[in-house]
Structure 1
Amino acid sequence: MTKQYIQNHKQYFLEKGLTVINSVFSDDEIEKITKCIRNADTSRENFRKSDDLFAVRQFLKEIPEAKDLIFNDTIKTIVKQLFGEKYFAIKSIYFDKPETSNWYVAYHQDLTISVDKKLEIEGFGSWTTKKNQFAVQPPLPILENICTIRIHLDDTDEYNGALKVIPGSHTKGIRRPETIDLKTETEKFCDVQKGGVMIMKPLTLHGSNRTTDGRRRRVIHIEFSDMELPEQLQWSERIN
């Protein structure tokens, strides 16, 4: 993966708020990652299970043996060259959209961050708490600084729930989904091959359609930042 190749992706990413890079993980690496997930103790509270959903919050903390497999040389290079030298992981989720599941996700932006405690700080609002995990909407500059990598463990296209996005929408601040005008804004499906990654800004408007062909879609979602939070507030999942 040449420096010029990464620079081309960086330019597109900054302009459009997303990019897709395939062949980041080999089939063997993906098999090792999925084996870690299969072997995990799913009885803990950060594991959510139902007939149509399997998700793991704080994924890198809950399944630490996956960390070295995920942060291979290619991912480290992508983080440093696309985002910046000092970026670190701040949030991680694994989710499986199984073949039995058929939910639809409307267009939205990712507007909250995970932190270690609740504090009254100017500019931080809409607090939520789930099982001692605190989420808050921070000031816009913090959201604009975050970059997300979505690692795909399966081939994903518009027929099994690939993300659809509005390219360039990350440059317009916080937007309500009803302001989207598909007559003037372009909608794009982000096909990603097994072992590939989709990289996006959380403010890029995104959603996904129902699965129509019965294939599963497993994704590891990791957010990165290089900003420190104000006062005594800390990122709850910080991993350098």
Structure 2
Amino acid sequence: MNLVHKKSEISELGFTVIEKVFSDSEIEKISQVIQDIDTSKETFRKSEDLFAIRQFLKEIPGVRDLIFNENLKTIIKEIFGENYFAVKSIYFDKPEKSNWYVAYHQDLTISVDKKVELENFGPWTTKQNQFAVQPPLDILKNIFTVRIHLDDTDENNGALKIVPKSHAKGIYRPETIDWNVETENICNVVTGGVMIMKPLLLHGSNRTTNGKKRRVIHIEFSDRELPEELNWSERMN
């Protein structure tokens, strides 16, 4: 793994893909733990098009040691730095017949433990007793997102489509994308690979057309402390 090159790719383009971070047997073990869980909790979202688990690392502690293998720990240390910790985690399962698609957007909110009035923090949303807020831009710019792929993913089963370099343009409204100057990339990732991206990178995904499922574990990392009245709701060192 040439992580120096990967680090510069993230900085310049807003994303990179690293293959073979997890072996087939590690992916099998992670899948097994997920299969064995009780899915009736309210942090789980189930529909024909999508199954999602919010606060994934908190809800399924048995998966943590499997996810943070030596490869991933090295990637985090070398690319992000010594002081990064997990601040948000979601598991997405897009089933084989899913019509779920996601329009272009940036990830503009962080998960926190409560709602307090703070300068430059807002707007706020609350879902299932979870508080999300748009923080100041410098906090968003500092976050890295790691997407672990449990299945081969390409344009036919909802691989992320992204606009390279859009992470460097601040808040970028999707309706203002000028396709005369911007390009679209499809981020194909094979089982066991990871995609790393900056949350401000414009991204979306299409419907599944090839009858293959797409399962992804999405984990966000930061090294920033929030104002003292506020805490990251899922902080995990």
Q: What TM-score, normalized by structure 2, do the two folds share?
A: 0.99
Give unmatched runs, 5+ long, in structure 2.
none
Instruction: Report the number of matched residues.
Output: 237
Identity of aligned residues (%): 72
Q: Which amino acid aligns with 1:84?
A: G
Q: Distance in 2 between matches of 1:164 and 1:95?
A: 16
- Correspondence 1:178-189 to 2 at 5 A: 178-189=175-186
| 1:190 counterpart residue number | 187
Q: Which amino acid aligns with 1:235?
A: W
Alignment of 1:85 onto 2:44: no
| 2:207 counterpart residue number | 210
- Correspondence 1:39-118 to 2 at 5 A: 39-118=36-115
Query: Are the equivalent residues in 1 in contact too, given 2:7–2:79 (CA < 8 A)?
Result: yes
Give unmatched runs, 5+ long, in structure 1.
none
- Deviations for 1:20-73, whole angstroms, at most 9, x for unmatched residues? 001000000000000010001111111111222111000000000000000001
Q: Which amino acid aligns with 1:116?
A: D
Q: Distance in 2 between matches of 1:102 and 1:76?
A: 35
Q: Distance in 2 between matches of 1:234 and 1:19?
A: 29
- Correspondence 1:85-164 to 2 at 5 A: 85-164=82-161
**Alpha-carbon offset, residue 211 of structure 1:** 1.2
Query: Are the equivalent residues in 1 in contact too, given 2:97–2:208 (CA < 8 A)?
Result: no
- Deviations for 1:144-185, whole angstroms, at most 9, x for unmatched residues? 000000000000001110000001000000011011111111
| 1:29 counterpart residue number | 26
Moved runs in structure 1, 4+ residues, more than 4 A?
Answer: none
| 1:10 counterpart residue number | 7
- Deviations for 1:56-111, whole angstroms, at most 9, x for unmatched residues? 00000000000000000110111111111100000000010101211221110000
Secondary structure of 2:156 counterpart: helix
Q: Distance in 2 between matches of 1:41 and 1:97?
A: 18
Query: Are the equivalent residues in 1 in contact too, given 2:50–2:100 (CA < 8 A)?
Result: no
Alignment of 1:234 onto 2:231: yes
Q: Distance in 2 between matches of 1:201 and 1:176?
A: 16
What's the Cα RMSD here?
0.7
Q: What TM-score, normalized by structure 1, do the two folds share?
A: 0.97
